Amino acid sequence: MELRNDLLLRTIRGEKTERTPVWLMRQAGRILPEYRALRNKLSGFKELVETPELAAEVTIQPVDHLDVDAAIIFSDILVIPEAMGLPYDMVEKRGPLFRTTIATESDINKLHVAEGGDIQYTLDAIQITKKELNGRVPLIGFAGAPWTIFAYMVEGSGSKTFSRARAMLYREPELAHRLLQMITDSTINYLHAQVEAGADVLQVFDSWAGILPPNQYEEFSLFYLHQICAAIQDTPLTVFAKDVRISAKKLNELDCETIGLDWCMNPATFRQEMPGKVLQGNLDPCVLYGSPDVIMEETRRMLINFGTKRHIANLGHGVYPDISPEAVKTFISVVKEYSAELR
Ligand SMILES: Cc1c2[nH]c(c1CCC(=O)O)Cc1[nH]c(c(CCC(=O)O)c1C)Cc1[nH]c(c(CCC(=O)O)c1C)Cc1[nH]c(c(C)c1CCC(=O)O)C2
């Protein structure tokens, strides 16, 4: 299927483009009234994730209503632990909760390396979405980074400190590595299956990169990200390591096309340290609480900071659920108009 809007792919290839492509992390979700309406008719988040026709529908909503340059498949990073044998619940207003957690070797022995087919509902959702998009925009598949998934599996939920997960790195590093390797192998299988199902681009979210000191980040996260990058060869891959504390030089060694930046990272530094990479990001999500003038000014500043090549406009993290769709639309139209003017 030919893509009619291939701006994202041309940008990833480093080509000169007529404007900067734009999409938002967490664009498929609670910011859209159309999403809330559908979600309120269902038993919960998981029903939406696990029903391919509905997942496809909410994946396409931001393309219809926000006119973004890419769709991201509606799913969650926590489908991997579930496929490995550790089911989660999504608790209203609280977030993810695992019924059991991983603490000992015998807990790990009960898990298995997941195959792509273990998450068939998302693969089906990708196939349906590709068909329904009919080439309008590329489709992004995704997974969590092994370290971030490990953090949820050991902690059992979100946490301010993730001290249980971090404690395991000091007390039982070999056990931690065993689990991280199983997550990595499962993730590679799943990403390959997403590509086979039709994903055009992949993104790996290391949302909890920022809680590890640099030496531990290299040992317990980067090591596994390298394996993932090596395994994904024919599909463009973005690594988004939020708050990461290692140098841009080290991050640049990853064999991926694109690096995602959060809003505290300086585009100029990353441009200098990783001239071959495409950069994605990085507007502070809170800018979207500002007036249209503030959104315009900050978005323009961001576009100037990244320059007109090898940039995918996005926020520095997922859009917050109480942001108004109007603010998001302002951001998107400023990117489209001003990035064209800058060329
Ligand atoms: C850490 C993480 C998770 N999930 C994800 C991450 C990495 C990105 C990040 O750092 O934000 C990734 C994710 N989760 C979701 C997507 C869908 C695609 C998209 O639009 O980006 C993606 C890419 C849907 C979702 N995942 C979740 C929702 C909200 C649930 C609902 O609709 O009731 C959505 C739309 C729930 C979720 N899922 C997760 C948490 C902590 C929560 C609860 C907090 C929250 O509500 O935002 C785990």
Please tell me the distance from the alpha carbon of residue 62 to that of residue 227, in angstroms, as a whole number: 32
Q: Is 76 a catalytic residue?
A: yes
Q: What is the pLDDT of residue 121?
A: 98
For residue 87, give every residue at least 6 positions away whose Cβ sits within 8 Å of its Cβ, in sequence order, or none: 81, 98, 99
The verdict on the CB of residue 290 being under 6 Å from ligand 1 is no
CATH entry, 20-277, from 3.40.47.10, 3.20.20.210, 3.40.50.720, 3.30.360.10: 3.20.20.210
Q: Determine the angle formed by the axes of helices 163-171 and 146-155, rounding to 10 degrees.
A: 100
Q: What is the pLDDT of residue 91?
A: 95
Ligand 1, closest atom to CA 205?
A: 7
Name the catalytic one among 6, 69, 76, 262. Answer: 76
What is the identity of the amino acid at 274? M
Q: From the CA of 272, how far away is ligand 1's center (Å)?
A: 32
Q: Are the C-beta atoms of residues 48 and 74 closer than 8 Å to each other?
A: yes
- ipTM at complex level: 0.95
Strands 237-241, 258-260: parallel, antiparallel or unpaired by DSSP? parallel
Q: What residues in the chain have per-residue pLDDT under 50?
A: none
User: For residue range 240-259, what is the model confidence (pLDDT) as tens digits?
Assistant: 999 999 999 999 999 999 99
Please tell me the distance from the alpha carbon of residue 196 to that of residue 277, in angstroms, as a whole number: 25
CA-nearest residue, atom 25 of ligand 1: 76
Name the catalytic one among 6, 35, 88, 152. Answer: 152
User: For residue range 273-316, what is the model confidence (pLDDT) as tens digits?
Assistant: 999 999 999 999 999 999 999 999 999 999 999 999 999 999 99
Q: What is the pLDDT of residue 20?
A: 98
Q: From the CA of 72, how far away is ligand 1's center (Å)?
A: 12
Q: What is the pLDDT of residue 1?
A: 75
